[in-house]
Amino acid sequence: MSINAYDYVIIGSGVAGSTLAKELLEADNKTSILMLEAGPVVAMKDRRFWWDYVVSWKKPYTQCYDREGDNPSTGKTYWDSVGSRMMIQGGSTVHWGGWSMRFKPEDFAFYSKTGYGGDWPYGYDDLEKFYCRADRYLHVCGHDDGDPWRSEPYPMPAYPFLEADGEMIEAFEKLDIKPGHMPLARERRCMATGTCKYCPIGARFSGALVIDQLLADTRFSNFTLMSETPVLRLLNNGKKKEVNGVEYLDPQTGVPTSVFGERIVVCAGAYEVPKILKLSKSQHWKHGVGNDTDLVGRYPVSHLFLTATGTKPKNKERWIAEYDFPTLMSRTYDAPKYQENGKIFMMRTASTPDTDIARLMAQGKSRSEIDAVLTGPRQMQLSAFMEEFGQHKNYFDVGEGTTRFGLPRTEIHFDKLGDFDKRAKKNLDRMERVIRTMGYENVTTAIGTQAGHHTCSTARMGNDEKLGVVDEHLKVFGTNSVYVLSNAVLPNCAAVNPTLTLVALAFKLSDHLLGRGA
């Protein structure tokens, strides 16, 4: 092995890259892996950071988000990227809520059922065993209600419903909506601080913790992480199929530097993956690696956030936010018969009702004034993710200039489907009915700004290169050494957070790379 040649070069240190690296290293401790991360390292489990968060709710990783202007929106629909993804060791799992839902069987045949987006090359049943591994790896706490089917129980019991969930559970039942426990990635050692955005003991899964463990493990002496190291492009080694080099910006010298790997795995998220592929032009790849059929960057989708909010005149139970995450959800409208309209995944908003007692004290409010606020009007909110339908005309492309991370800006061209608001209204009406059935008044509904929290599909899987950028094993069509492990490969975004599905894909890919199974 030469000094700049590795078994694997992994681009990105988020949940995808960290999970894959761990699997490869556990299988063969001496596997040489270079992991390149554009963002910095921010300490996890730091008590000072935690207290800073408690007293000010400021997170120690705020500087790792996109800023206004980093990803110019050029379509008719404004796409907001600020606060949705992170450039940091551990990627977006540093800030995620740990919500860990599986896609449902109908999600794997999205194009066949809706005429939009894409179909997966395989079905839920094929991925189910990998979902089980993902559940165990992330320590998912949940309650099996049979939908979708699972071959193993959740590895950890669900968090209890809160008393403040009760009104909504009763309304759900009246409306024939099935209540469910939110599946969450929380380890047994959780101290229930309710500060999961910065956990003082690392009980919520984060890719950053996995990387820390890999770096500290003396068995894995050939594992190297380079942070603050943006990747510029992939390098073609003469023959078209042989794309086994990576050019990055050296963080010490600022000089473009090349490194080589037997296999390159791009785990850089749905924004960066298409740009890296498109920037990797050569005589064989005139439009970028894997882009002969102009699919790289197309079909971007995310989730629109829907809300229904109501008020009651009194909060006699003095309910406050006890956790920083929802405990009550429902997948009733995340079912095949709603797919044509756009399925939704509903949850009771954890921050309603709540009273910031310390803030009122800081404002000089007396005990009786604070008691009056605590027992005064109570707000309750039902939220939902609504799935979007991928369209070829939408795309992510390389924008002009670079961000402060040294990454090219992303041009985001996105037009919401013309009938989206009409379809969203049907879902909002369902949500409004819940809030009214709970006896709340002054009910308002809203569709949130198009944002990038769960962006998918920008280098999607397909059965051939006319349908996708990567094959069922996540290898880029036309190459023999480049893989993509990212939400970018999902042919659709379903109605739920995609992280658990991405982790399942990491296990599936690691088995493939290690020659395990069929």
The residue type found at 395 is Y
Determine the interface stretch with another protein among 17-25, 228-236, 363-371, 429-437 (rule: CB under 8 A): 363-371
Among 215, 323, 425, 448, binds another protein (CB under 8 A): 323
Among 1, 43, 54, 175, binds another protein (CB under 8 A): 54
Q: Would you count residue 152 as binding another protein (CB under 8 A)?
A: no
Among 145, 173, 340, 369, binds another protein (CB under 8 A): 369
Residue 11 sits at φ, ψ, to 5 deg, of -100, 110
Point out which residues pair with 216 in neighbouring strands: none
Burial string for 115-128 (b: 16+ CB within 10 Å, else e) reads ebbbbbbeebeebb
Q: Which residues contact 148 (CB under 8 A, 6 or more apart)?
A: 102, 103, 104, 105, 124
| Choice between 160 and 418, CB closer to another protein | 160
Among 27, 162, 215, 514, binds another protein (CB under 8 A): 162
Q: Which residues contact 238 (CB under 8 A, 6 or more apart)?
A: none
Is residue 383 helix, strand or coil? strand
Q: Would you count residue 314 as binding another protein (CB under 8 A)?
A: no
Q: Report 30-49 residues binding another protein (CB under 8 A).
A: 47-48
Alpha-carbon distance 7 to 485, whole Å? 17
Among 189, 392, 422, 473, binds another protein (CB under 8 A): 189
Q: Would you count residue 155 as binding another protein (CB under 8 A)?
A: no
Alpha-carbon distance 110 to 208, whole Å? 33
Among 193, 222, 379, 463, binds another protein (CB under 8 A): 193
Burial string for 216-244 (b: 16+ CB within 10 Å, else e) reads eeeebebbebbbbbbbbbbbbeeebeebb
Q: Least Å distance between CB 165 and another protein?
A: 5
Among 313, 364, 401, 418, binds another protein (CB under 8 A): 364
| Choice between 311 and 375, CB closer to another protein | 375
Among 65, 103, 154, 161, binds another protein (CB under 8 A): 161
Q: Would you count residue 376 as binding another protein (CB under 8 A)?
A: no
Q: Least Å distance between CB 161 and another protein?
A: 4
Q: Would you count residue 239 as binding another protein (CB under 8 A)?
A: no
> Closest Cα partner for 299 from 452, 475, 491?
491
Q: Would you count residue 1 as binding another protein (CB under 8 A)?
A: no
Alpha-carbon distance 414 to 394, whole Å? 5
| Dihedral, CA of residue 163, residue 165, residue 170 and residue 173, to nearest 10 | -140
Among 152, 322, 340, 415, binds another protein (CB under 8 A): 322
| Choice between 321 and 398, CB closer to another protein | 321
Burial string for 131-152 (b: 16+ CB within 10 Å, else e) reads bbbbbebbbbbbeeeeebebee
- The H or E element that residue 61 is part of is none
Determine the interface stretch with another protein among 54-62, 113-121, 288-296, 410-418 (rule: CB under 8 A): 54-62
Q: Would you count residue 514 as binding another protein (CB under 8 A)?
A: no
Structure tokens at 495: 């109605």
Site string for another protein, 451-470 (x = CB under 8 A): --------------------
Q: Would you count residue 16 as binding another protein (CB under 8 A)?
A: no
Q: Are 321 and 473 in contact (CB under 8 A)?
A: no
25-29's contacts with Cβ under 8 Å and 24+ in sequence apart are: 25/214, 25/217, 25/219, 25/220, 25/223, 27/510, 27/514, 29/219, 29/220
Q: Would you count residue 417 as binding another protein (CB under 8 A)?
A: no
Among 34, 134, 164, 249, binds another protein (CB under 8 A): 164
| Choice between 74 and 366, CB closer to another protein | 366
| Choice between 1 and 361, CB closer to another protein | 361
Among 284, 365, 425, 512, binds another protein (CB under 8 A): 365
Q: Report 490-509 residues binding another protein (CB under 8 A).
A: none
Q: Report 57-96 residues binding another protein (CB under 8 A).
A: none
| Choice between 364 and 517, CB closer to another protein | 364
Among 3, 255, 362, 518, binds another protein (CB under 8 A): 362
Residue 110 sits at φ, ψ, to 5 deg, of -65, -45
Determine the interface stretch with another protein among 29-37, 153-161, 395-403, 430-438 (rule: CB under 8 A): 153-161
Q: Would you count residue 372 as binding another protein (CB under 8 A)?
A: no
Q: Would you count residue 205 as binding another protein (CB under 8 A)?
A: no
Structure tokens at 399: 């924008």
Structure tokens at 95: 């800030």
Among 69, 153, 157, 256, binds another protein (CB under 8 A): 157
Is residue 35 helix, strand or coil? strand
Is residue 270 helix, strand or coil? helix
Alpha-carbon distance 9 to 490, whole Å? 22
Binding residues vs another protein (CB under 8 A): 47-48, 51, 54-56, 157-166, 169, 188-195, 318-324, 357-358, 361-367, 369-371, 374
